[in-house]
Amino acid sequence: MAEVYEMPELAESVVEGEVLRWIKKEGERVERDEPFVEIMTEKVTVEVPAPHAGTLIKTLAAEGQVLPVGAPLAVFGEPGEDVEAALKSFVPHHGHGHGAPAAPAAPAEPAAPGLTPPPVQAVPVPPNVPTSLPSNGTTSTPQRVQREGRPLAAPAVRQYAREKGVDLALVAGSGPSGRIRRTDVDQFVSDRRGEAHPAEAAAASGALWRGPSDRLEPLKGLRRVIAQRMPQSKRTAAHTYNVDEADMTALVELRKRLKPMAQEQGVKLTYLPFIIKAAVAALKKFPYVNASIDDATHEIIVRSDYNISVAVDTEHGLTVPVIHNADARSVLDLAREVTRLAEAARANRLTPADVQHGTFTISNSGSVGGLFTLPVINLPEVAILGVHPIKQRAVVREGAVVAREMTYFSLSYDHRLVDGALAVRFLSELIRLLETPDFLLIAG
């Protein structure tokens, strides 16, 4: 019997996935656990293993298409088997909601039998559901609208929805008897985009100017996710900034002494592990910086874990793997984990576990150059630390101008939870620990 494989929930609170590449083509055989499709979610890219041996008899999404978790993705079976029947009897296992009230598992095709549904529901509309950030409740997770029977929409509205990639099962209708109008589809599309900002609205209406020799690339994959998440963070968090300078001379010397020892153990020692250590100690002192706001429940979640996200630059864009339980790790251990995650990120090999449950982020992207940057907060966290190059600069010590190993630290924080004084105290504490690295031994 042909079997429908649905878009898996690849990481916690992930609601949709983008089909990056069909590793196996229709009609090809797969062995059990053999990767058959590459899926990218807002968190990770995964080569999905086949559930069991068989033939991939039908793929239900084009490369680049986004499907909600639980939507039919592919059909396995033996060649010639009835794809139609399999899809008809398909009932999704995954709900779409997390933290939101659960909608009853609606059958894949809500149309009443006998109303001549299209013989095959294959190649469904790409139901570009809104991208929601992990469980911070800033956007509602998409759900099937509860209704009697099929979504009521005129043929022209159904056509319009397909063109916009909107699944009408997710759209609430404002017309009589819940009929879905064209404006409801527009509303859904702009909700999906966060809210209609003038620039985005212009882009949506196709009004952007294009020169004759300009190159057009699809906005997809990691770039698409970043493009969605950054403005979302900017709109959600009350971004506020604090920058301070730090004298790293002692740390530079300490690292110089420790480097050969680390090397003996095969570990490349950078400044980052020390900064993580200092950050953890400072977070312990100021718990509100290691927290989240749950808008949906009006709660502040003060984290007991110290999971430090580290921004890694890859050729596809920025990813943010997480060093879990950073508070329980030695400097060498942290160094090892940083190296492992950076390599995995660049090779596109991060696992779902590698990217979830971050509580505070350190962005090293400013280390390429410049004086300092003000990074965007990685929701649902409330603060992000910017780390920058260490350079000899002229400073005044005891009345004399001397050369010291100097750097800047920046802190972008969400003023909804972190007040200015707290941010300044937090950053000062972090700098205090790094300027006198001996403290790191006794801190926390």
Partner 1 sequence: MAEQQVDAVVIGAGPGGYHAAIRLAQLGKRVVCVDRDAVGGVCLNWGCIPTKALLHVSEVARHARHAAEIGLEIPQVNVKVEGVRKFTTDVVTSNVKGVETLFKGNNVQWAIGEGSFVDKSTVKVTKKDGSSETYKAKDVIIATGAAPVDVKAWPRDGKLIINSDDAVRLPSVPKRLLVIGGGVIGLEFATVYNRMGSEVLVVEMMPNLLTGTDLEIAKTMARVLKKQKIEIMVNTKVETLEKGAKTVKATITGEGTANKPETREFDQVLVAVGRRPMSDGLNLESAGLKTDEKGFLNVDAQRRTAVAGIWAIGDITGGPLLAHKAMKEGVVAAEAIAGLPGVAYDPVAVPNCVYTDPEIATVGLSEEEAKAAGHELRIGKFPLLASGRARTMNESDGLIKLIGDKKTDVLLGMHIIAPQAESLIGEGVIALEMGATIDDIGLSIHPHPTLTESIHDAAEAAHGTAIHIINPKPTAAAAAR
Residues forming contacts to partner 1 in the complex (CB under 8 A) are 26-27, 57-58, 79-80, 82-84, 111-116, 118-125, 148-150, 152-155, 158-164, 176-179
Q: Nearer to partner 1 by C-beta: 91 or 123?
A: 123
Is-catalytic flag, 415? yes
Cβ at position 150, least distance to partner 1 in Å: 7
Q: Nearer to partner 1 by C-beta: 79 or 370?
A: 79
Q: SS3 string of the chain? A: CCEEEECCCCCCCCCEEEEEEECCCCCCEECCCCEEEEEECCCCEEEEECCCCEEEEEECCCCCCEEECCCEEEEEECCCCCHHHHHHCCCCCCCCCCCCCCCCCCCCCCCCCCCCCCCCCCCCCCCCCCCCCCCCCCCCCCCCCCCCCCCCECHHHHHHHHHHCCCHHHCCCCCHHHCECHHHHHHHHHHHCCCCCHHHHHHHCCCCCCCCCCCCCCCCHHHHHHHHHHHHHHHHCCEEEEEEEEECHHHHHHHHHHHHHHHHCCCCCCCHHHHHHHHHHHHHHCHHHCEEEECCCCEEEECCCCCEEEEEEECCEEECCEECCHHHCCHHHHHHHHHHHHHHHHCCCCCHHHHCCCCEEEECHHHHCCCCCCCCCCCCCCEEEEECCCEEEEEEECCEEEEEEEEEEEEEEECCCCCHHHHHHHHHHHHHHHHCCHHHHHCC
Cβ at position 189, least distance to partner 1 in Å: 13
Cβ at position 342, least distance to partner 1 in Å: 40
Catalogue the long-range contacts made by 89-97 (C-beta closer than 8 Å, 24 or more residues apart): 90/4, 90/6, 92/6, 93/6, 94/6, 94/7, 94/8, 94/9, 94/69, 94/70, 95/70, 96/15, 96/68, 96/69, 96/70, 96/129, 96/141, 96/142, 96/143, 96/144, 97/141, 97/143
Cβ at position 142, least distance to partner 1 in Å: 20
Cβ at position 241, least distance to partner 1 in Å: 43
User: Which of 124, 19, 134 has its CA nearest to residue 66?
Assistant: 19
Residue tagged active-site, from 94, 239, 357, 415: 415
Cβ at position 121, least distance to partner 1 in Å: 7
Cβ at position 163, least distance to partner 1 in Å: 4
Q: Nearer to partner 1 by C-beta: 106 or 250?
A: 106
Q: Nearer to partner 1 by C-beta: 179 or 416?
A: 179
Q: Nearer to partner 1 by C-beta: 163 or 419?
A: 163
Cβ within 8 Å of residue 199, ≥6 positions away: none
Cβ at position 80, least distance to partner 1 in Å: 5
Q: Nearer to partner 1 by C-beta: 177 or 304?
A: 177
Q: Nearer to partner 1 by C-beta: 112 or 328?
A: 112
Q: Nearer to partner 1 by C-beta: 122 or 374?
A: 122
- Give me the active site residues, please: 415
